Structure 1
Amino acid sequence: MAKVVCVLYDDPIDGYPKSYARDGLPKIERYPGGQTLPTPKAIDFVPGALLGSVSGELGLRQYLESRGHTLVVTSDKDGPDSVLERELVDADVIISQPFWPAYLTAERIAKAKKLKLALTAGIGSDHVDLQAAIERGITVAEVTYCNSISVAEHVVMMILGLVRNYIPSYQWVIKGGWNIADCVARSYDVEGMHVGTVAAGRIGLAVLRRLKPFDMHLHYYDRHRLPETVEKELNLTWHPTVEDMVKVCDVVTINCPLHPETEHLFDEKMLAGMKRGAYIVNTARGKICDRDAIVRALESGHLAGYAGDVWFPQPAPQDHPWRTMPHHGMTPHISGTSLSAQARYAAGTREILECFFEGRPIRDEYLIVDGGQLAGTGAHSYSAGNATGGSEEAAKFRKRA
């Protein structure tokens, strides 16, 4: 029998919900492009419940314990005295989330002698040292597409929030003011602006589709060029490099995976090549941007705004400069963990576990590393290597919270 360690974020500060704002979820049959939703043999949860926190347990306890497996669920994941550090030494499976990542560094993988599967409840497995997983023959899998549309919706919300200066305007209401001039002094229309996405995979393409009705000029960079029919349908302009794209864009949205080739892609030089007064929305990974270069660009006025819900490390320490930099629209990493998305990534986690324990193949689109090499989606989207360096800083969140 196996030991499964599941790292999830904390319950709400007022306790696990006893009721919800809505009574259920809309029924979605397929993802855009035809990929089917997760297909586990069964689920032991009610769709629309809070599954991604510790008490929600991804709805896995009944399934795992009824088959003799051991399930350990914790939110304590950082530092040498954490529950994760103690429990990983004899874990067969470690489940984590992008929103509250259990950083599986090479050092931790070396301690986890029995580890066979690192499973991401969501999308994005950069919190795993993929090179170490390749060398150890550990399978890395994630629930591809489960929350891609959730993130795309969040991107559109943040673009509009930044350009229309929504957050400062809302704050004047809270303060009791009616400061129209203060609100509109940084407010513009998105109509006619040039917007470009770094990567046009499931999320990036979904963002472009949602922005087309706003009559924006649409651009993209991707190392895999889209079909000509899609380019014509959306009137897209493809750019051969990120540098070529960002110099013409008023808004740049980052939707690529984090791996060694994209780490700190948006550095001082890249930012300098952008239009003065441009906006960046980053719901991909915080480490794709140089932390301090972003702060300086906002302070100088070269960037008009920066929004996103991804940081490095996660959770961000209390003194992380993105909490206090000017003209930002940051949130905790929430774009892909709506209650709607949770039903899908919990079901996908169950599907992957069923395949793993029953010796059946895991869907190719869910695989990142398998058989000692990048596989499936991993071979298409990632490069070998390690992007977890510096993640020990996450321990500062607990110390200062």
Structure 2
Amino acid sequence: MAKVLCVLYDDPTDGFPTTYARDDLPVIDRYPGGQTTPTPEALDFTPGHLLGSVSGGLGLRGYLEKAGHTLVVTSDKEGPDSVFDRELPDADVVISQPFWPAYLTPERIAAATRLKLAVTAGIGSDHVDLDAAVAHGVTVAEVTYSNSVSVAEHVVMTILSLVRDYLPAHQVVLDGGWNIADRVARSYDLEGMHVGTVAAGRIGLAVLRRLAPFDVRLHYTDRHRLPRAQEEELGLTFHESAAAMVPHCDVVTVNAPLHPETEGLFDDELISTMKRGAYLVNTARARIADRDAVERALRSGQLAGYGGDVWYPQPAPADHPWRTMPHHGMTPHISGSSLSAQARYAAGTREILESFFAGRPIRDEYLIVDGGRLAGTGAHSYSVTG
């Protein structure tokens, strides 16, 4: 029997929910492009309930314990005496979420001598050292597409809130104020602006599709160019690189995985080539943008706004400069963890575990590393240095 170590975020501060704002979720059985939503043999949770926190346990406890496996669920993941580090050496499976990542460093992977499978409950597996996973024969899988649309919706929301200066205007209401001139002095229309995405994979393309009705000019860059039919349908302009694209854009959104080619991409030099007063939205990974360069650009006026929900490290310390820099629209890492998304990535996690324990192949779409090499989605999206 196996030991499954699951690292999830803490329960709500006022206790685990006993009621919810809505009674049901829309039924979605496939994603754009035709991939089916997760198809586990059964579910032991109610879709629409909180599953991503410790008490929710991704709805896995009944299934795993009935099969004789051991499930350890914790939010304590930092430091050598954390529950994660104490339980890791004899864990067969580690499950983590990109919103509360349990960083599987080379040292941790080397110490986890029984580790066979690392699952990302969601999308984005850069918290796992892929070189080390390849070297140690650890399979890495994620629930591809499970929360892509969730993140795309968050991107569009963030763009609109920054361009319209929504958050400060809402704060005026909370503070009992009214002065209109104060709150329209930084408010613009998105209509007619040039908007570009760095990467046009599942999330980036979903962002482009959702922005098209706003009558904006759409741009993209990606290591894999889209089919001409998609470019013509959405009126997309392709650029060979981010450096070639950003000088043309009023808004830039980052939807790329973190790997050696993207780490630190938005530094002082690249940001200086953007239009003065452009907006930058990053819901991908924080380290794609240089932390201090972003703050400097907001304070100088080179950027009119920065938004997103990804930080480094996560959770962000109280003194992280992105908490207090001007004209930002940052949130905790929530974009891909809506209750709708949780139902899909919990179901997908169970589907992966069912395949793993039964000795069946894991869906190719879910694979990042397998058999000592990048595989499936990983071979398309990531790179390794080893």
Could you say which TM-score interval applies, normalised by the shorter chain? over 0.9
Query: 2:328 & 2:79 partners in 1: Cα distance?
Result: 29
Structure 1 residue identity aligned to 2:100: W
Q: Could you say which residue in structure 1 is the equivalent of 2:275? A: 275
Q: What is the CA-CA distance between 1:268 and the residue it aligns to?
A: 1.0
Q: What is the CA-CA distance between 1:260 and the residue it aligns to?
A: 1.3
Query: 1:202 & 1:140 partners in 2: Cα distance?
Result: 19
Q: Is 2:57 aligned against 1:57?
A: yes
Contact 1:138 1:372 in 2 (8 A): yes
SS of the aligned residue for 2:248 comes to coil
Q: Could you say which residue in structure 2 is the equivalent of 1:242? A: 242
Q: Could you say which residue in structure 1 is the equivalent of 2:359? A: 359
TM superposition score normalised by structure 2 = 0.99
Contact 1:129 1:385 in 2 (8 A): no
Contact 1:93 1:117 in 2 (8 A): yes
Q: What is the CA-CA distance between 1:318 and the residue it aligns to?
A: 1.1
Query: 2:47 & 2:226 partners in 1: Cα distance?
Result: 34
Q: Cα deviation per residue 1:226-271 (whole Å; 9 max; x = unaligned)?
A: 0000000001000011111000000000000001111111111110
Counterparts of residues 286-297 of structure 1 (less than 5 Å)? 286-297=286-297
Q: What is the CA-CA distance between 1:317 and the residue it aligns to?
A: 1.1
Q: What is the CA-CA distance between 1:179 and the residue it aligns to?
A: 1.5
SS of the aligned residue for 1:220 comes to strand
Counterparts of residues 84-99 of structure 1 (less than 5 Å)? 84-99=84-99
Structure 2 residue identity aligned to 1:125: S
Query: 1:120 & 1:107 partners in 2: Cα distance?
Result: 19
SS of the aligned residue for 1:247 comes to helix
Q: What is the CA-CA distance between 1:122 and the residue it aligns to?
A: 0.3
SS of the aligned residue for 2:161 comes to helix
Q: Cα deviation per residue 1:275-297 (whole Å; 9 max; x = unaligned)?
A: 10000010000010000000000
Q: Could you say which residue in structure 1 is the equivalent of 2:138? A: 138
Superposition CA RMSD, Å = 0.7
Structure 1 residue identity aligned to 2:30: R
Counterparts of residues 64-213 of structure 1 (less than 5 Å)? 64-213=64-213
Contact 1:54 1:75 in 2 (8 A): yes
Q: What is the CA-CA distance between 1:204 and the residue it aligns to?
A: 0.4
Query: 1:286 & 1:129 partners in 2: Cα distance?
Result: 16
SS of the aligned residue for 1:63 comes to helix
Q: What is the CA-CA distance between 1:81 and the residue it aligns to?
A: 1.1
SS of the aligned residue for 2:110 comes to helix
Q: What is the CA-CA distance between 1:302 and the residue it aligns to?
A: 0.3
Query: 1:272 & 1:382 partners in 2: Cα distance?
Result: 27
Query: 1:340 & 1:37 partners in 2: Cα distance?
Result: 12
Query: 1:58 & 1:234 partners in 2: Cα distance?
Result: 37
Q: Could you say which residue in structure 2 is the equivalent of 1:390? A: none
Query: 2:197 & 2:225 partners in 1: Cα distance?
Result: 13
Query: 1:224 & 1:319 partners in 2: Cα distance?
Result: 38
Q: Could you say which residue in structure 2 is the equivalent of 1:392? A: none
Q: What is the CA-CA distance between 1:272 and the residue it aligns to?
A: 0.8
Q: Could you say which residue in structure 2 is the equivalent of 1:46? A: 46
| Runs of at least 5 residues in structure 1 that lack an aligned partner in the other structure | 387-401
Query: 2:177 & 2:268 partners in 1: Cα distance?
Result: 38
Q: What is the CA-CA distance between 1:29 and the residue it aligns to?
A: 1.9
Q: Could you say which residue in structure 2 is the equivalent of 1:333? A: 333
Q: Is 2:32 aligned against 1:29?
A: no
SS of the aligned residue for 1:188 comes to coil
Structure 1 residue identity aligned to 2:118: A
Query: 1:356 & 1:30 partners in 2: Cα distance?
Result: 23
Q: What is the CA-CA distance between 1:385 and the residue it aligns to?
A: 4.0
Aligned length: 386
Q: Could you say which residue in structure 1 is the equivalent of 2:7? A: 7
Q: Cα deviation per residue 1:70-129 (whole Å; 9 max; x = unaligned)?
A: 000000001111000100010000000000000000111111010000000000000001
SS of the aligned residue for 2:10 comes to coil
Q: Could you say which residue in structure 2 is the equivalent of 1:345? A: 345
Q: Provide runs of 4+ in structure 1 moved above 2 Å.
A: none
